[in-house]
Structure 1
């Protein structure tokens, strides 16, 4: 298995600089491929505008690489929608998509519904909380899909410095509170061990839980989407079983800086990711799990119990509205 992973790394791992922007634009034009970029957003007014503006400036106006830039707002209580729209994105409310099926909370729910309101042959997902955003995140993940006909699913890889103060620090600056390479805590403590033990073919992915990835629509519409934190692991594992390891790839895009979650939120993420893996290993009728955590209150430690995200949306190719839209 190690030899297989090493062969895959040599053939399917690249750097963003390997594909200059003019080459990508020419390949896109020659093939007639269309590209949609989706930002799932919930209360991201501080960062979403800069991300949208960068993509529009570099990949819509300066170089015509992105055909569609959509922010799907999953119920923000701040100015996320207003800021994103002003920066040049089309903003869609999650609850307005497929209204016959009531939405449930979760990132995966938003990504699944985004397939209904986009039309690109290639769909790229980018988190809306990134700081110091570069268009390289988009060109990196769509590049192999425009130049390598056999590639169907591409993850970004990057350094994730862990910042513990205001997020303005630089990696390696000890006084700033940043620790280089330590930002992927759930990846290292949960996802990577699970993948290495149960899906060792995927051991070569540097950031298996990263929120920046792109795929061909023809693949995404065939995959189930876990509605919550498990969506990245679920899509990666299901893509492996659907199209095989050689159709998967990763591209180094540099450094990813974003808002970090507290320890309890990470615990809930880890539980959902474990459950997503468990379902793929068992596919049985299992009891819906809960996770109990503790916070200190006026009378001591108080329990807080959360349901673990386990619901999944079916492949979009089986949804009548989607079939009708894409047949038109």
Structure 2
């Protein structure tokens, strides 16, 4: 059974009924704070710090803070987690990381309550920040293909876990970075009841780039091994996994991990803005589908989703190579590359936001040297389009919103609501047509180029510009806002 409540059951768990296990390697900077935090929780009966033979004062500081400290049987987080499980005196365990900060009160209780109340056997934490690069580009796409029933877990690689000791002792603990994803999959495969609990916002130390590469390799190895053991590893699924990973690069969650401290954002429409020609029309010309496309475009009563789905189906059986060739040949407006570079040098994160398809928008994005592209996703079987369209969730209205159901303006909302510091302080946007209007209105500074509606600049309160060349040579005050 898998469920993902946003909060644990309301009944208070028995006091002092949980063993908290903290694997630690050279965590002297924060270990005392994490131990004190765990001991302050009313559900905590003991705190065990499993020291991975640290060469700093981790063990001494943990012991002074009130933890029982044991030395791991071998190097590696998985071995430390397993050693802690064997040493624990309570039936319910909660694992915390030794480098956590910014914890809200009661996380041990929140994680343990579904297990203590009999609602779950294994609990994963959901926390405020989005998944990191390995989560978004490796773990989630692979889970989506091989274990789709687990694909909605927000932080499948997260180390904040609660579980029954008896369940954990029946599972295999991987030695390295794959331990957390391995436990999640194994707990599911043996029939454990899995729950995800929202614990608010936490902070970890970031991983060096080399460690991220090693982590991605290890996580992939573990998922492949579990898929093979479950009889789910087939050539067709490998192809589907790579397609899923390509699509993940166009998700808002992944893009937010690449902000790198930038607090200013420039969003550019693609069709009619950075390129005078619409991609879908160029593709229709290249594939002999102009007449069929014209018939679909001449349906004013269709809503945006219906029309988009019908146009996507028109290009069924077109190869990815054809899509990319047309995108590579799409003429860019003179000066567009120069202006994008100018804005990036001024500290802006620059993105392409398009009603078109990611397979094309990402090519154009790379031609512009922009940071990201957000667009809807066409599905490919192998390297051939199957005609199915997935609407990018970043374009959908948030729950309770009174705005349009599907709109580029919702992308701005996602960026502004992203809680990582520094927060987004200023957003610029550029478009050319009525489908850009709400995005332009929502921006702090808006521009229109070659407008397709006579009153677009006025209605959007936007500056009309004649060309990117003109922008690139104007003093547009690219200094950070006060």
TM norm. shorter chain > 0.5: yes
Question: Of 107, 110, 120, which residue of structure 1 is paired with 2:77?
Answer: 107
Contact 1:140 1:156 in 2 (8 A): no
Give me the whole-angstrom Cα distance separating, in 2, the residues matched to 1:13 and 1:203. 15
Question: So what's the TM-score if we normalise by structure 1?
Answer: 0.66
Question: Of 46, 60, 66, which residue of structure 2 is paired with 1:82?
Answer: 60
1:127 and 2:106 are equivalent in the alignment: no
Q: Could you say which residue in structure 2 is the equivalent of 1:140?
A: 110
Aligned-pair distance for 1:137?
Answer: 2.4
Aligned-pair distance for 1:93?
Answer: 1.1
Q: Could you say which residue in structure 2 is the equivalent of 1:282?
A: 228
Question: Of 125, 129, 134, which residue of structure 2 is paired with 1:186?
Answer: 134
- Shift of the 283–145 alpha-carbon distance from structure 1 to 2, 3 Å rule, reads closer
Q: SS state of the match for residue 55, structure 1?
A: helix
Contact 1:196 1:202 in 2 (8 A): yes
Contact 2:104 2:201 in 1 (8 A): no
1:14 and 2:6 are equivalent in the alignment: yes
Aligned-pair distance for 1:235?
Answer: 0.5
Q: Could you say which residue in structure 2 is the equivalent of 1:269?
A: 215
Q: SS state of the match for residue 255, structure 1?
A: coil
Q: Which has the higher contact order (CA 8 A, sep 6+)?
A: 1
Structure of larger gyration radius: 2
Give me the whole-angstrom Cα distance separating, in 2, the residues matched to 1:46 and 1:133. 15
Q: Could you say which residue in structure 1 is the equivalent of 2:164?
A: 216
Deviations 1:183-219 (A, max 9, x none): 5221101100011110000012111111101101111
Deviations 1:75-106 (A, max 9, x none): 111110111111111111113xxxxxxx2x21
Q: SS state of the match for residue 15, structure 1?
A: coil
Q: Note the 1:244-259 alignment, pairs <5 A.
A: 244=192, 247-259=193-205
Q: Could you say which residue in structure 2 is the equivalent of 1:93?
A: 71
Q: Could you say which residue in structure 2 is the equivalent of 1:169?
A: none
Give me the whole-angstrom Cα distance separating, in 2, the residues matched to 1:254 and 1:115. 26
Give me the whole-angstrom Cα distance separating, in 2, the residues matched to 1:145 and 1:237. 18
Aligned-pair distance for 1:41?
Answer: 0.2
Contact 1:155 1:249 in 2 (8 A): yes
Q: How many residues align?
A: 230
Question: Of 26, 37, 40, which residue of structure 1 is paired with 2:23?
Answer: 40
Give me the whole-angstrom Cα distance separating, in 1, the residues matched to 2:133 and 2:76. 20
Q: Could you say which residue in structure 2 is the equivalent of 1:116?
A: 86
CA RMSD after TM alignment: 1.9
Question: So what's the TM-score if we normalise by structure 2?
Answer: 0.46
Contact 1:55 1:135 in 2 (8 A): no
Contact 2:127 2:199 in 1 (8 A): yes
Unaligned runs of 5+ in 2: 231-482
Aligned-pair distance for 1:230?
Answer: 0.3
Give me the whole-angstrom Cα distance separating, in 1, the residues matched to 2:94 and 2:110. 10
Give me the whole-angstrom Cα distance separating, in 2, the residues matched to 1:233 and 1:56. 27
Question: Of 35, 42, 50, which residue of structure 2 is paired with 1:52?
Answer: 35
Aligned-pair distance for 1:132?
Answer: 2.0
Deviations 1:164-201 (A, max 9, x none): xxxxxxxxxxxxxxxxx3x5221101100011110000
Give me the whole-angstrom Cα distance separating, in 1, the residues matched to 2:109 and 2:134. 26
Aligned-pair distance for 1:151?
Answer: 0.9
Q: Could you say which residue in structure 2 is the equivalent of 1:196?
A: 144
Aligned-pair distance for 1:283?
Answer: 4.3
